[in-house]
Amino acid sequence: MALKYKRILLKLSGESLMGNDPFGINRETIKETVQQIKEVSDLGVEVAIVVGGGNIFRGVSAQAGDMDRATADYMGMLATVMNALALKEALESMGATARVQSALSMQQIAEMYVRPKAIQYLEEGKIVIFAAGTGNPFFTTDTAAALRGAEMACDVMLKATNVDGIYTADPKKDPNAMRYQSVTFNEAIEKNLKVMDATAFTLCRERDLPIVVFGISKTGALKRVVLGEDEGTLVHN
């Protein structure tokens, strides 16, 4: 079974862990997500993950109100650590080996992010979960994913969403919306496709790190992406 991508950076939103719950972590949803991750890890894919925290707290959300933006962003980073620990526990309950590395120092619960150590873990077949974003306020977890993907020399960044790719229009509102099989970075900018925030998008383009936007809720979607099948939308130079 030929793999198209040997080392991947999987970006999971915090919202993707909620299922149909209004907030928090849905155990059944995280189990389904983790099953897909373990499936590709078992194929020999080296898996790094960056997870968001929007299911618990987001710095730019209405919850933050008039709170100082930096403080609110640090709270959001703490939420990503909670999600990372939940992912690690779920992965290990299925027999996978996972490590959490945090951009903020939290010695009791997670290792500090160290690039050579993270690469070593990936080469050993361990799943590495990066928490606390970049460790800096004003940067999204999309940017953290682009940064870690570049640092880990990943073949691709996989952005898991609740839609199975990038469409010409909102498929929930327009039944005639068509999914793009692939687009270039420049086309995505010209068409204002809003793949991810501008900082993350620019970093991926400059580092020649392709992005695949796909729906994580579709059974087997992650496996189909790493095998190079027609799943999601590829954004490339």
Q: Domain residue spans in the chain? A: 7-236
175 assigned to a ligand binding site = no
> Of 174, 170, 179, 158, which Cα lies nearest the Cα of 228?
158
73 assigned to a ligand binding site = yes
**Helical pair 69-93 and 27-42, crossing angle rounded to 10 deg:** 70
52 assigned to a ligand binding site = no
pLDDT in tens, 6-61: 999 999 999 999 988 988 999 999 999 999 999 999 999 999 999 999 999 877 77
Task: Give CA–CA dist 194/191, Å, rounded.
Answer: 9
Look up the CATH architecture of domain 7-236: 3-Layer(aba) Sandwich (3.40)
- Note the pTM of the prediction, 2 decimals: 0.95
137 assigned to a ligand binding site = yes
Burial class (CB in 10 A: 0-12, 13-18, 19+), 135: middle
Confidence of residue 62 (pLDDT cuts 50, 70, 90): confident
pLDDT in tens, 140-189: 999 999 999 999 999 999 999 988 999 998 888 898 999 999 999 999 99
* pLDDT, the chain, mean: 94
Burial class (CB in 10 A: 0-12, 13-18, 19+), 227: middle
> Of 193, 203, 84, which Cα lies nearest the Cα of 143?
203
Q: Looking at residue 200, what is its pLDDT?
A: 94
Q: Looking at residue 194, what is its pLDDT?
A: 84
80 assigned to a ligand binding site = no
Share of the chain above pLDDT 90, in %: 84
12 assigned to a ligand binding site = yes
33 assigned to a ligand binding site = no
